[in-house]
Homo-oligomer: A and B are copies of this chain.
Amino acid sequence: MNIALDAMGGDYAPEAIVQGALWAQSELGVNITLVGDQNLIRKELSKGGNIGNRIQIHHCSQMVAMDESPVKVLRHKKDASIMVAFRLVKSGQAEAVVSAGNSGATVGAAVLTLGRIKGVERPALAGIFPGAKGRVVLIDVGANVDTRPRQLFEFGIMGNIFACSLLNIDNPKVGLLSIGEEGGKGNEQVRIAHDLLKKGPFNFIGNVEGRDIFSGDVQVIVSDGFVGNVALKLSEGLAEAMGIMLEREMSRGLISKLGFWLGRKAFENFKRNLDYAEYGGALLLGIKGVGIICHGSSSPKAIKNAIRIAADFVNNHVQERLEEGLAKFLSEGT
């Protein structure tokens, strides 16, 4: 297996990306191709001592800034690292792409280069959240805005297959994110989608609310990408703010400080549970290939974990299962 890693994408690229690649290589034993400016990559690799023979460099001449317009990138930057990375998958030289770069450009490059799975109007990003009772998949966390109900229905199909095949959840409960549990509650888009999802080939339990993202009572939550992205970033922000507030409270008195010191291992476990770096990135579902989109400010650890998720995605044949699932659904003509 070979993973194409966009060495030029992310707030701390190429340093954090290359470090993540070295980490992944030693821990996971996968082959990695770093795509980007070979001089910059070599410089970073040399910091890590010996260059393992499993890390290859694929040079390209362009890179994409975090705030660049995806449309312009797709038109004018054919040799950008993210474009080249997906071409490596297209030509069979890599099985998956991992990028912490401009997410709009990454989604665009994936769709343009690899194409969509038959039956999918819009690919979607699946994020994995740590629920109190286990992991929860939220789909879409930002690939699309202004999603139509039919597309939300597709997200349900893909999210269900993903939860079964990557997270090994048996017959996951699928819910639609809204602002009240009754089917009639929500905005227009959600009210129509609710009726479509009821007929879907999965265990649809109806509308769920924001609190269910962390309860773990439902394993797959379908959402428009705008709402899903707000939810994702809110969760990161809240977890961070809670860490700050907790430490502030715990450092107020001697006894609390002692308690904090004694409990520090538990705190670390707790914080790790909520750290997005543990989950690596969001998975782009619905393209003919594997793409993992990481947080822009990804640490080496986040990159390493994203590479692990990419490898799991390939090893568990999630892609094939998505294609089969959608084909089956289309042939049944529901």
Seen from chain A, the residues whose Cβ lies within 8 Å of a Cβ on chain B are 67, 130-132, 142, 145-146, 177-179, 182, 186-188, 190, 209-216, 225-227, 229-242, 244-246, 249-250, 252-253, 255-256, 258-267, 269-270, 273-274
Contact = CB atoms under 8 A, between A and B. Distances in A.
A264 B263 CA distance: 11
A252 to B, nearest CB: 6
Given A231-B230, A242-B242, A242-B274, A237 B214 contact: yes
12 contacts: A142-B179, A179-B225, A179-B230, A179-B233, A211-B236, A214-B237, A231-B231, A242-B242, A245-B270, A245-B273, A259-B259, A263-B263
Given A227-B227, A258-B262, A270-B245, A237 B250 contact: no
Nearest to A67: B182
Contact of A177 (B132, B230, B238): B230
Contacts of A266: 246, 249-250, 252-253, 256, 259-260
Contacts of A270: 242, 245-246, 249-250
A237 to B, nearest CB: 3
A145 B132 CA distance: 29
A238 B241 contact: no
A236 B177 CA distance: 15
A130 B244 CA distance: 12
Nearest to A234: B210
A-B pairs, 7 with minimum CB distance = A211-B237, A259-B263, A259-B262, A210-B233, A210-B234, A214-B241, A145-B187
A245 B190 CA distance: 31
Contacts of A238: 213-214, 235, 238-239
Nearest to A69: B184
A227 B177 CA distance: 10
Given A146-B188, A239-B238, A246-B270, A210 B232 contact: yes
Given A130-B245, A259-B264, 16 more contacts: A146-B187, A179-B233, A186-B226, A210-B233, A211-B236, A230-B230, A230-B231, A231-B231, A238-B239, A245-B270, A249-B266, A250-B266, A256-B265, A258-B262, A260-B263, A260-B266
Contacts of A225: 179
A260 to B, nearest CB: 6
Contacts of A230: 177, 179, 209-210, 227, 230-231
Nearest to A258: B262
A241 B262 contact: no
A303 B186 CA distance: 26
